Amino acid sequence: MREQRSRVITYLRKEKSISIEYTSLPSGDYVLSSSAVCERKEAQDFVLSILDRRIFSQVPKMKSEYETVVVVIEGNIFKTRSAIEPAALIGALSWLIVLEGISVIFTDGPAMTAALISTMARHAQNGLGYTISLRSGKPKDQNAIAQYLCEGLPAVGGAKAQDLLDHFKTAHAVFNATVDQLCEVKGISRQTAQKIYNASRIQWRK
């Protein structure tokens, strides 16, 4: 309800894919999902919330109710009409990010804030919508493919991948080798061998 007349709401209303429900919230300004909330503060308000200590009670409250807490700050907090020392601002930001584990994001105004809120809400409710590939630029050359596969193993770079293939001849043989067999390869310690052995036997969990 506190945000009902903000320009952010004006921009959010323009997006046909968004449904907005107004209600009094015990903490936060925008509930993105059942587990995520966003607190929006203009730069001047953020500074004032440090001076009157308000932010230090708001954050624990949000953390007690939501798994994910995001603080969005509009504008430059270092250019407000306030006598607060820059060190105090930096200290507050550090407290939020490092000690409280809060995501702090700066925007240049309501339009960007609205775009960010709508995107965060979509991700919080529906996920990304596609699976991100952990690796890209897959090679076409047969030897390069074998090396590429081996480089996906822990503690294995280009040189070690080639050493493994020189010894075992195929990526299949590398993946099926025992720890003792892996240790026979020059530069592969028992610790690295154990990591390689374990990696190819990890049980996938969705």
**Do residue 101 and residue 150 come from a single domain?**
no
Tell me, yes or no, whether 1 lies in a domain. Answer: no
DSSP state of 79: G
Q: What is the pLDDT of residue 203?
A: 87
**Cα→Cα distances 185→41, 179, 196, 197, 200, Å:** 58, 11, 12, 13, 17
Alpha-carbon distance values, 16 to 19, 101, 111, 123 (Å)? 8, 33, 15, 17
Strands (E), 20-156: 30-33, 36-42, 68-74, 103-107
Q: Is residue 21 part of a domain?
A: yes
Q: Are residues 121 and 173 in the same domain?
A: no
Domain housing 70: 7-126
Residue 85 to residue 37: CA distance in whole angstroms: 29
Answer whether residue 136 is part of any domain: no
**What pLDDT is stored for residue 129 in this prediction?**
83
pTM (whole model) above 0.85: no
Let me know if residue 135 belongs to a domain: no
pLDDT greater than 80 at residue 7: yes
50 & 151 share domain: no
- Where residue 20 falls among pLDDT bands split at 50, 70, 90? very high
pLDDT digits (tens, 9 = 90+) for 95-148: 999 999 999 999 999 999 999 999 999 999 999 887 777 777 888 898 899 999
Q: Is beta strand 36-42 parallel, antiparallel or unpaired with respect to 68-74? A: parallel
- Local structure of residue 98 (DSSP, 8 states): I
133: in domain: no
Q: Is residue 206 part of a domain?
A: no
Q: Does residue 164 fall inside a structural domain?
A: yes
Would you give the DSSP letter of residue 157?
A: -
Inside any domain, residue 137: no
The total number of structural domains in the chain stands at 2
Domain end point (choices 93, 126, 159): 126
Q: Is the confidence at residue 83, as pLDDT, over 90?
A: no
Task: Read off the pLDDT band of 26 (50, 70, 90).
Answer: very high
| CATH code assigned at 148 | 1.10.150.20
Which of the 8 DSSP states describes residue 34? T
